[in-house]
Each structure stands twice: as C-alpha cells, then as structure tokens.
C-alpha cells in the first residue's frame, strides 16, 4: 500500500468523478456485533482487519468512531493507496449517504473499533428539510471530493491511466433545478442591493367603506424596480426575502416610508378640511419582523419621527404568526396595547387555528381573496364567507373583503354585512401622488382590467 504523503505532482481533479463504479454491495458483514442503544442509535463493533465497506459498494450508513482506528483507502492490494487514518470522534462513510452514490473509498478497522452507526434515513430527513442552496453546495463538494479520490487512485496506479471525466461539473449547469437555485442566489444578491440603491417603492391600494364607498384608508404594498429585471413580482421577491433575513432591512424601509407617507395623507386631509381621525394605513408585517425583540421599539420610534399616531396604523399579519411564535405574539400584544390595530390577513388560508380568535389577539379579519373570487360561483364559498363575517361580528371584529373584482361580489358582501372592501373593482394599487387624490372621496366603480 502507498501512502498519500508519497504522492506529488499537480492536482487537476476539478471536473472529474470516479470513472468506474463497481457493482453495489452493502457494508461488511464481518462485524463482531450490532448493539441497539436506542431505536435511532446503534453501535457496531469491529475486529482488527475487518473490512467495514469497500469502494464501489452502495452506502446506507455512516459511522462515528467512539474508540479504535480506521483506515480509509482507495484501490486494492499492491495498488491500494491510504487516504487517511481516523480515530475517536472522526466520522467516515458520510459521503454516500448524502447523495446515494457508491462508496468512493474503502474502510478497514486497524484495531478493535467501536462505532456509532448513523443511518441514511436519519441524514435524509435533515437534508430534505434544508434549503436547495445548501443541498447544491453539499452535492458540489462531494462531487469534487470523489474526483479528488479518483485522481489520487489514478496517480497511485499509473498503468491504469487518469480517470475519464465521466460527469463534468458542467453537467450541473444543464440541470433545471440547479438553474433555479442559481437564479434564486442571483435574485437574492440583486435584492440585497435593492434597499441600498433605492430600487424599492410603495404603492397604495384604497380600502373602502362598502356602504358609502368612501376611501377610509390604504394598504401599502411593496414594489421593486430592478434595473436588470424590470418590475419584479412581489410574491417572488417577498417570499425570498422572508426565507432569508433580508426582510428585516426591507421591513424597516417599508415602515419608514409608510409612516412618512401617512404624514402626507394627513396633510392632504387637513388641506381638504376632512378629519383624519378615522383614516388609516395598513402595513404588511412579516413574522420575522415581529420576532425581533426590539420590533415594538423601532415601530414606536418610527411613528414619533414622522409624528403619526398608532391609532392610524393597522399591522397586517398572517395566521403563521400564531404558530408557536412566542416572541411574535408578545410583540403583537405590545403593539395592540400601544393602540396599533392588528388585522389578520389572508384569513382562511393558513393553519386554521381559531385559538387566536378565542383569545381575541386581533382587531380585524381580512377574508382571503380566493374566497371572494368564488363568492358568486360557489355555494360553499358563499356559506364560508357568510359564516366568517357572522363569527367576526359576534366577536365584535370588523371584516375586510380583499380582491373584490365584480359589482356582484360587492353586493353579496354588503348583504352579508361586510364593512370594508378592497379590490380591482375600485382601484388597483396606485403611486402615492395618485392615491393622495382619492382620500375621503367616494369611488366610482372602475371597469375591471386584468392585473
């Protein structure tokens, strides 16, 4: 057997994977004993000289050495090459259980060994729940590691020749999932610059009193005009921002600008001689924002900076916020105690726990537009919307119907006792200057344009 230290020469392994795969064969049966410590944890004992697994065999477990030493090598007999000797605390055999490829090296006990077995299923669960980007990075490094092993083996057996580049890294580039991951990474990088480079802006969609059609407030909605991509769909970039921590600087930006714009709405109401007492701005707040320990303090500081009142701000949250998010629920409590109203957005689409209604931790229900859209075509949707409005009324909570697109939907909602409406029937989201012109006005019903 050769030792890795005896090899020299340039390593040019990138882009190469082990060329030949020996037919699958499971890990050694030469073990002395399996001891089930718990359903998830088994200990394996090996004697000196036992083969634990061989190159090319299929991998269904990894090992953590508790005691003893294990040799990892490629090739066999005279041509074998030692890659490493591992001891207590070291892990081996993990590569194959991560990507289900055959073993790219063999393992042998040098002396009596006691190892903890980690099953492929245990690892698979964790990998599946990780982000696609993490999975891609792991897969790439395994790929390179295997190529490196194959290269070392080829150097140890010069008569065999260097391995063929069976799977080049360029193969990744053709994979659709890989492209999607790369696109997301690029989108994230562009989005990081968006706040810094002033590429975000807010638009305002009016909320109306459904009985007299007067505009009583606006929902602020975020837009991103990316220099390279154009106007990016909010559902695409906000979902990404919420998966990462990017939503936090973006959330601060949204609060700052929504409060500054609320000040301008108030000035407009003053100018036209109307009271601004009942006027409000609804701001969408994500769970991560509410989870920040200082969210409430930041919100208060922001309202003071712009001289706007808590009573004129509604915070829109989704049902997700009530899903074991203790910090978020605490934050909501503080905001409500200070006079901010909390609206439950997209009601009926989330986790449908009615606990928060029983504890009455909110001030308003916003019925999801998927129900409103079916209101005049599905009896079931009609029954559900009517029941939601009834429950809310009995709890003393107003309801907002979002996504009203037709006069028939509006009439049905009025008849059911829904107080507030929003939707393309009245207006699309508008730039601030146009929205300022609508405050306090009754709105004519607009023809419906596709968004």
Contact with Ca ion (CB under 5 A) among 50, 71, 345, 405 = 345
Provide, rounded to whole angstroms, the least separation between the CB of residue 346 and Ca ion: 4
Contact with Ca ion (CB under 5 A) among 99, 346, 361, 363 = 346
Q: Say if CB 203 and CB 431 are below 8 A apart.
A: yes
Output the six-digit token pair for 121: 């299923």
Q: Is 149 in the site for Ca ion (CB under 5 A)?
A: no
Binding mask of the shown chain, residues 368 to 407, with x at each position contacting ligand C2E by CB under 6 A:
-x--------------------------------xxxx--
C-alpha span between 247 and 291 (Å, rounded): 12
Among 350, 47, 6, residue whose Cα is nearest residue 152: 6
Provide, rounded to whole angstroms, the least separation between the CB of residue 390 and Ca ion: 21
For ligand C2E, the closer of residues 248 and 357 by Cβ is: 248
- 342 in helix, strand or coil? strand
Q: Is 71 in the site for ligand C2E (CB under 6 A)?
A: no
Q: Is 449 in the site for ligand C2E (CB under 6 A)?
A: no
For ligand C2E, the closer of residues 234 and 440 by Cβ is: 234
For Ca ion, the closer of residues 103 and 369 by Cβ is: 369
C-alpha span between 157 and 151 (Å, rounded): 10
What are the residues whose beta carbons fall under 8 Å from the beta carbon of 396, sequence distance 6 or more? none
Task: Give the number of other CB atoms < 10 A from CB of residue 392.
Answer: 23
CA–centroid distance for 256 within its chain: 25
Phi, psi of 246 (to 5 degrees): -60, -25
- How many residues contact ligand C2E, by CB under 6 A? 23
Beta-bridge mates of residue 86 = 70
In order of 93, 128, 164, 169, 393, the CA distances from 147 in angstroms are 16, 24, 10, 11, 66
For ligand C2E, the closer of residues 345 and 419 by Cβ is: 345
C-alpha span between 136 and 138 (Å, rounded): 5
Q: Say if CB 210 and CB 404 are below 8 A apart.
A: no
- How many residues contact Ca ion, by CB under 5 A? 4
Q: Is 199 in the site for ligand C2E (CB under 6 A)?
A: no
C-alpha span between 327 and 261 (Å, rounded): 29
The strand order across the sheet containing 106-109 reads 2-3, 81-86, 70-74, 106-109, 51-53
Q: Is 242 in the site for Ca ion (CB under 5 A)?
A: no
For ligand C2E, the closer of residues 415 and 451 by Cβ is: 451
Q: Is 345 in the site for ligand C2E (CB under 6 A)?
A: yes
Kindly provide the residue ranges of all beta strands, DSSP E only, lying in 140-258, ordered along the sequence: 200-209, 215-226, 230-232
Binding residues for ligand C2E restricted to 132-171, rule: CB under 6 A = none
Q: Is 60 in the site for Ca ion (CB under 5 A)?
A: no
Provide, rounded to whole angstroms, the least separation between the CB of residue 272 and ligand C2E: 26
For ligand C2E, the closer of residues 122 and 406 by Cβ is: 406
Binding residues for ligand C2E restricted to 232-261, rule: CB under 6 A = 234-235, 238, 254
Provide, rounded to whole angstroms, the least separation between the CB of residue 443 and ligand C2E: 13
Task: Give the number of other CB atoms < 10 A from CB of residue 233.
Answer: 11
- 125 in helix, strand or coil? helix
Kindly provide the residue ranges of all beta strands, DSSP E only, lying in 180-229, ordered along the sequence: 200-209, 215-226
Provide, rounded to whole angstroms, the least separation between the CB of residue 319 and ligand C2E: 12
Picked from ligand C2E, Ca ion, none, the partner binding residue 451 (CB below 5 to 8 A depending on kind) is ligand C2E
Picked from Ca ion, ligand C2E, none, the partner binding residue 403 (CB below 5 to 8 A depending on kind) is ligand C2E
Q: Is 341 in the site for Ca ion (CB under 5 A)?
A: no
Contact with Ca ion (CB under 5 A) among 284, 289, 312, 399 = 284
In order of 130, 148, 156, 191, 426, the CA distances from 141 in angstroms are 16, 10, 23, 27, 54
Q: Is 346 in the site for ligand C2E (CB under 6 A)?
A: yes
**Stretch binding ligand C2E (CB under 6 A), from 25-33, 74-82, 217-225, 409-417:** 217-225
Contact with ligand C2E (CB under 6 A) among 82, 104, 106, 286 = 286
For residue 438, give the H/E element and its range.
none
Which residues sit at the interface with Ca ion, rule CB under 5 A?
284, 316, 345-346
Which residues lie near ligand C2E (CB under 6 A)?
205, 220-222, 234-235, 238, 254, 284, 286, 316, 345-346, 369, 402-405, 422-424, 429, 451
């Amino acid at each position: 057997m050769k030792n890795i230290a005896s090899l020299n020469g340039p390593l040019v392994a990138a882009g190469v994977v082990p060329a030949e795969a020996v037919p699958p064969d499971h890990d050694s049966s030469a073990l002395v004993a399996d001891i089930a410590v718990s359903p998830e944890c088994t200990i394996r004992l090996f004697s000196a000289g036992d083969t634990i697994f061989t190159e090319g065999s299929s991998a269904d477990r990894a090992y953590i050495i508790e005691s003893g030493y294990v040799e990892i090598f490629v090739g066999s007999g005279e041509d074998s090459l030692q890659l490493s000797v591992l001891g207590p605390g070291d892990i081996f055999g993990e590569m194959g259980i991560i990507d289900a490829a055959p073993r790219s090296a063999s393992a042998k006990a040098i002396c009596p060994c006691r190892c903890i077995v980690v099953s492929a299923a245990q690892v698979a669960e964790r990998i599946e729940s990780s982000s696609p980007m993490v999975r891609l990075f792991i897969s790439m490094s395994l790929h390179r590691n295997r190529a490196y092993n194959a290269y070392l083996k080829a150097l140890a057996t010069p008569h065999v020749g260097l391995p063929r580049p069976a799977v080049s890294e360029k193969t990744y580039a053709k994979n659709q999932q890989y492209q999607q991951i790369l696109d997301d990474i690029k989108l994230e990088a562009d989005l990081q610059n968006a706040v810094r480079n002033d590429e975000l802006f807010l638009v305002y969609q009016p909320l109306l009193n459904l009985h007299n059609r007067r505009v009583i407030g606006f929902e602020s909605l975020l837009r991103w005009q990316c220099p390279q991509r154009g106007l990016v769909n909010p559902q695409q970039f906000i979902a990404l921002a919420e998966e990462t921590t990017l939503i936090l600087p973006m959330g601060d930006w949204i609060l700052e600008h929504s409060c500054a714009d609320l000040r301008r709405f108030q000035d407009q109401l003053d100018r036209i001689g109307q009271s601004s007492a009942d006027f409000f701005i609804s701001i969408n707040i994500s769970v991560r924002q509410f989870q920040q320990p200082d969210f409430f303090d930041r919100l208060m500081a922001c309202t003071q900076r712009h001289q706007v009142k808590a009573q004129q701000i509604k915070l829109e949250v989704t049902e997700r916020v009530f899903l074991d998010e203790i910090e978020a629920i605490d934050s909501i409590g503080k905001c409500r105690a200070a006079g901010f109203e909390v609206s439950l957005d997209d009601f009926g689409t989330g986790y449908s726990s009615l606990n928060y209604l029983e504890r009455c931790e909110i001030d308003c229900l916003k019925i999801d537009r998927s129900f409103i859209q079916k209101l005049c075509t599905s009896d079931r949707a009609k029954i559900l919307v009517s029941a939601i409005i009834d429950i809310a009324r009995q709890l003393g909570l107003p309801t907002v119907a979002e996504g009203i697109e037709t006069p028939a939907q509006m009439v049905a909602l009025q008849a059911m006792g829904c107080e507030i409406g929003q939707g393309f029937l009245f207006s699309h989201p508008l730039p601030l200057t146009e929205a300022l012109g609508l405050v306090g006005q009754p709105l004519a019903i607009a023809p419906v344009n596709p968004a």
